[in-house]
Amino acid sequence: MPANLTPDYKAAEERFRQATTTEEKIEALEEMLAVIPKHKGTEKLQADIKRRLSKLRQEMGAGKGGAKRAAAFRVEKEGAGQICLVGPPNAGKSSLVAALTRAQPAIGDYPFTTHVPTPGMMPWEDIQIQLVDLPPVTPDYLEPWLPGLLRRAEGLFLVADLASDDLLADTEAVVQRLEQARIVMVRDLPESPEPLMTYQRTLLVANKLDAPEANERLALLHELFPPEYHPTVAVSVHTGAGLETLRQAAWELIDRVRVYGKPAGQKPDMERPFALPRGSTVEEFAAAVHRDLPAQLKSARVWGPSARFPGQTVDRDHVLADQDVVELHTGAS
């Protein structure tokens, strides 16, 4: 089976080749492992990446407990996708995560309340999206482990503080500081990305809509970040304004489709959808169900938006749509 390595994987592999420090090499390898297609054709490559990761972590652990420290800043992905929150100090990232999830990050009216990544699961319809609260970004400081987390996420929330007189300067500073770390926040991924740069789909979250003069500051923010290029949702944790809109926007940001499995001769499981990248095929759905299924797959039947009629028989290259129901047929079925 061919490896079919993605552009994201090849970009991470190039960053590994260009890395000059152990931390940078570990970060690149972790991203390679996160984005590599998971099937039999890449099993040897996955094993090689894990072997190199283990060796580098041992090397880091030999000095000052680096491996344990680095592990504390890794967040295992859960749910349909992962969105990381970035922003200046006191923008209200922790309050947003607390309002949208059951997580309880430290919240304070002083800078740098958050020191480590804090994940929480945000429900939306029948799926959950993982939000990760992160330390603030300033022109003078960016946590060395933070870019690695951002690169592996499915999307970013850039949180702007509508209560701050320094709204524009602080928000622009975050954008520029991340670009220095080779992370570019965009509405749509470019067709011809620059080498060694990571492009992340980003939603601008204008927080504290209930603050005095917030609407005036929001208008200024739109001048610096026009909504047609920088999709924006204005919210207030205290009043709840915009939070439901933000949940919907988060689902659109991670660009996934929900696919429901249907065992042959049984009712579909409509409680636990598989969340797959938009454009995924029946073969990729089969791999998500079990890594050995693609090799056994003969055909599939599809009910839903991508089918011309209910129960249409399709091949493994059929592209699935959101809320499709799929019945897989293998050589043994």
Handedness of CA 181, 182, 186, 188 (dihedral sign): negative
What is the mean predicted confidence (pLDDT) over 53-82?
A: 71
Q: pLDDT tens across 234-272, in order?
A: 999 999 999 999 999 999 999 999 999 999 889 999 999
| Terminal C-alpha separation, the chain | 22
What is the mean predicted confidence (pLDDT) over 280-303?
A: 92
What is the mean predicted confidence (pLDDT) over 62-89?
A: 75
Q: Binning pLDDT at 50, 70 and 90, where does residue 115 land?
A: low
CATH topology of domain 75-254: Rossmann fold (3.40.50)
Each domain of the chain, given as residue ranges in start order, spans 7-70, 75-254, 256-330
The residue with tokens 């480590």 is 116
- The DSSP result for 201-256, as a single string, is EEEEEEE-TTSTTHHHHHHHHHHHS-TTTS-EEE--TTT-TTHHHHHHHHHHHHTE
Q: Binning pLDDT at 50, 70 and 90, where does residue 331 land?
A: confident
One fold for 75-254 and 256-330: no
H or E element in which residue 30 lies: helix 22-35
* Res 59: pLDDT: 76
Q: What is the DSSP letter of 42?
A: G
pTM of the model: 0.80
Q: pLDDT tens across 139-160, in order?
A: 988 888 899 899 889 999 999 9
Tokens of 28: 């690149």
List CB contacts of 91: < 8 A, sequence separation 6 or more. Answer: 136, 159, 160, 161, 164, 170, 207
* Res 68: pLDDT: 47
What is the mean predicted confidence (pLDDT) over 280-292?
A: 92
The answer to whether domain 256-330 has CATH 3.40.50.1220 is no
The yes-or-no verdict on residue 136 having pLDDT over 70 is yes
What is the mean predicted confidence (pLDDT) over 172-180?
A: 95
- Give one word for 96, left, alpha or beta, with left for phi > 0 and alpha for psi -120 to 50: alpha
* Res 269: pLDDT: 92
